[in-house]
Structure 1
Amino acid sequence: MRRAVIAAAVMVTALLAGAVPAQATEPAGGAGAHGGWVPAPSAAFEQPAGARCDFAIRSEPIRDEVRKLVLDTYADGKPKRDLYAGDLIVKFTNLETGVFTEVDASGTALVEYGADGSMTYYVVGPVIFGFRADGSTLPRGMWLIDGVYSVAFTPTFQKTLTMIHGTTTNLCTLVD
């Protein structure tokens, strides 16, 4: 797994430097199947008390320049591999007290989608992931994970974090 994460980090770096593989520039299935970089905005959301933090929270992008590049698709057109990159600053608020923090979640991610509904994010830099209290590798919370790592999702959204190098910060503790 460690080699896969490092290989994905190298690929992400190469893609951002302009070394895009042929399948990303020459769409399968004819012209327009991939279409180049497109905006991939993050939606604001709220979670009730107990879902991720002991209190109700809101997460909302305040600067969102994230874009997506489809690298590969399955025969039915569903995504197989996507690349996400761009600036993302998120305001994270405790809805009970109004205390908030702003965090940089501008990491770059290569996402591989399994045909069974699983997916794996290979990430360089900071990204926010929510973890439930039911068996994932981090405790319940909204986590800012930064560094070089992967997060694998099962089809039922259990998450497994594999950290190569980096840090984890539970945003709930920053606004408690």
Structure 2
Amino acid sequence: MRRTALALATVTACALASPALASPPPPSAGAWEPAPSQPWEVAAGERCDVAVRGEPLVDEVVRRVLSRHPDGSPKDVAYKGDLVVRVTATATGAFHDADASGSALVRYGTDGSQSWYVSGPVLVGIAEGKGNLPRGLYIVDGVYRMEISSDGHKSVTMAHGSRTDLCARIAGARP
């Protein structure tokens, strides 16, 4: 309950800090709908030194489209719900179950860029030279903003929080 209240307060604060989001969403804003995560794999060296697979164990994430671009594509979307992802080193079977149950307000640019206003943990993957964090897989937890450029560069700006290096977690873990 406390996490939900904090998440709603953060999303509200972020919305009020952005002039385009200061007014309430239009009456045509959609209802909450499932936003399932898909299993994924990355080769050794892309995020971690070893090949890694991720698969949702718990996925109750929902989204609500708050506004749309003139072409009808989503512009501002709120996300919330429980998400636990098992991150596994494919060669050894070592794994870590990562809580990525944060809440976010995401603004999608027409050029493919994204601005995330987040409260709570989210799983973030960074490619070599494509972020202000080193290459890796992280659980970033707290209150923060993440900018993703149209070419995939990620910049995380923390207001308060921490990050957990999942590559390190599975490197030393036993299956």
TM-score tier (shorter): 0.7 to 0.9
Partner of 1:136: helix, strand, or coil?
A: coil
Match of 2:101 in 1: 106
Instruction: Give me the TM-score of the superposition, normalised by structure 2.
Output: 0.84
Instruction: Give me the TM-score of the superposition, normalised by structure 1.
Output: 0.84
Q: What per-residue deviation string (whole Å, max 9, x for no partner) do you get for residues 84-104 of structure 1?
A: 000001101001111001111
Matched, 1:65 2:60: yes
| Corresponding letter in the other structure for 1:69 | R
Matched, 1:48 2:43: yes
Match of 1:133 in 2: 128
| CA distance in structure 1 between the aligned counterparts of 2:13 and 2:81, rounded to whole angstroms | 13
Partner of 1:160: helix, strand, or coil?
A: strand
Q: What per-residue deviation string (whole Å, max 9, x for no partner) do you get for residues 149-174 of structure 1?
A: 01101100101110000001110000
| CA distance in structure 1 between the aligned counterparts of 2:84 and 2:13, rounded to whole angstroms | 21
Q: Rate the CA distance shift 1:57–1:12 in 2: closer, same or farther, 3 A.
A: farther
| CA distance in structure 2 between the aligned counterparts of 1:10 and 1:87, rounded to whole angstroms | 17
Q: Which of residues 20, 23, 26 in structure 1 aligns to 2:25?
A: 23
Matched, 1:39 2:34: yes
Match of 1:116 in 2: 111
| CA distance in structure 2 between the aligned counterparts of 1:62 and 1:77, rounded to whole angstroms | 32
Provide the aligned length of Structure 1 versus Structure 2. Answer: 156
- The CA RMSD over aligned residues, in Å, is 1.8
| CA distance in structure 2 between the aligned counterparts of 1:44 and 1:144, rounded to whole angstroms | 17
| CA distance in structure 2 between the aligned counterparts of 1:50 and 1:88, rounded to whole angstroms | 25
How far off is 1:35 after superposition? 2.8
| Corresponding letter in the other structure for 1:114 | G
Off by >3 Å, runs of 4+ in structure 1: none
Q: What per-residue deviation string (whole Å, max 9, x for no partner) do you get for residues 121-175 of structure 1?
A: 1000000010011141000001100000011011001011100000011100000
Match of 1:17 in 2: none
Contact map agreement 1:12 1:108 (CA 8 A) in 2 = no
How far off is 1:75 after superposition? 1.2
Contact map agreement 2:30 2:66 (CA 8 A) in 1 = no
Q: Which runs of 5+ in 1 are unaligned?
A: 1-7, 15-20, 28-33
Match of 2:12 in 1: 11
Percent identical among aligned pairs is 46
Q: Which of residues 162, 166, 171 in structure 2 aligns to 1:167?
A: 162
Q: Rate the CA distance shift 1:10–1:108 in 2: closer, same or farther, 3 A.
A: closer
| Corresponding letter in the other structure for 2:113 | S
Contact map agreement 1:12 1:110 (CA 8 A) in 2 = no
